[in-house]
Structure 1
């Protein structure tokens, strides 16, 4: 089956500004929101080998 994801789709709630800022920050690091959220969840749950995702540089004024 083409384009069959390996994981189940889940819904989470974020305010619009946070969701947009997360997209911008993820793209700046060559990642996407799902990847960052999965990395954070694995770290939070203390999964073996999991590391806290790198934080983006703060925006320049």
Structure 2
């Protein structure tokens, strides 16, 4: 059987933080945003830091 998916990598995130993140990036875009951040963080050529939403779209920082 051909492996067409990347391996599942669970991470621990507080529920409030995870939900706030989902509201800003879209529930189905969380993984893509995390992968983009990791690519930028480790310095893959051409990778860019993901854009943050405008302050008007954010209420208060999660965990604040």
Off by >3 Å, runs of 4+ in structure 1? none
Question: Which is helix-richer, 1 or 2?
Answer: 2
Rounded to whole Å, the distance in 1 between the matches of 2:30 and 2:4 is 15
Which stretches in structure 1 are left out of the alignment for 5+ residues?
none
Between Structure 1 and Structure 2, how many residues are aligned?
56
- TM-score w.r.t. the length of structure 1 is 0.78
TM-score (norm. length: structure 2)? 0.74
Higher relative contact order (CA 8 A, sep 6+): 2
